[in-house]
Homo-oligomer: A and B are copies of this chain.
Amino acid sequence: MKDLRIIVTGGTIDKVHDTRVEGLSFSPDGSTHIPEMLRIGRCHFPAIELLMLKDSLHFDDADRDAIAAAVTAAPEPAIVITHGTGTMGETARFLDGRVAGKTVVLTGAMRPFSLYASDGEFNLGGAVVAAQVLSPGVWGVMNGRVFPAERLNKNVEQGRFDA
C-alpha cells in the first residue's frame, strides 16, 4: 500500500467543548485529536503533521498556499487533509492543479470528534482508504461519498456532504 500523510488544518472535526464560553473552540493547548482517532481506528501507519488549527471559514489564500506547500513538501504520494466543512470545497478547488502527481483527499466532520456520535471517524476511515486507492488528483471524502474537487459541496440543509 502507498505511504500516507495526514495534514491537520483544524475544522469542526478537531473542536472541543469549552465550558468557560459554553461553546466550541480548539483545545487551549493547541493539540489535535487525529492521533487519538487513528488509535481508536487501530490504524498505526500514517504520518501526522499538525499544520494549523483554524476554522475554515477564516481561511484566506495565505492559509491555502501553506496547505499546498505542505502537500508538495510531503514525501508521501498519498495525502489526507483534515479541514473545516465550511470551505472544504474552495480549498479542494484551490489545490486542484497545484499538487500534481499526488492523491490528495480532504475530509472533516459535521460534528466534533470530541463529542459523542461524531461522523469524524467514519469520514477519516473513508479518507485514509481513498487516498491509497484513488488516482492522483484532489478529492473530498465525506459521509460515505467520494467527490472530485469540482463537485465537493456541503449540503447545509441536510447537514452532510451529498451527491
Interface assignment of A110: CB less than 8 Å from any CB of chain B: yes
Q: Which residues of B contact A130 (CB under 8 A)?
A: 129, 133
Which residue of B40, B122, B125, B146 is within 8 Å of A1 (Cβ)? B146
Residues of B within 8 A of A4 (CB): 144
| A:97-156 near B, CB below 8 Å | 110-112, 114-119, 121-130, 132-134, 141, 143-146, 156
Contact A19 B122 (CB under 8 A): no
Contact digits for A1-20, partner B, Cβ 8 Å, 1 yes 0 no: 10010000000100001011
Nearest-Cβ distance from residue A34 to partner chain B, whole angstroms: 12
**Which residue from chain B places its CB closest to the CB of A116 in the assembled complex?**
B116
In Å, the complex CA distance between A124 and B25 comes to: 26
A117-B40, A122-B125 as given contacts; A22 in contact with B19, CB under 8 Å: no
* Residue A35 interfacial (CB < 8 Å): no
Among the listed B41, B123, B144, which residue makes an inter-chain contact with A143, where contact means beta carbons less than 8 Å apart? B41
- Which of A37, A41, A143 has its CB near the most chain B CB atoms (within 10 A)? A41
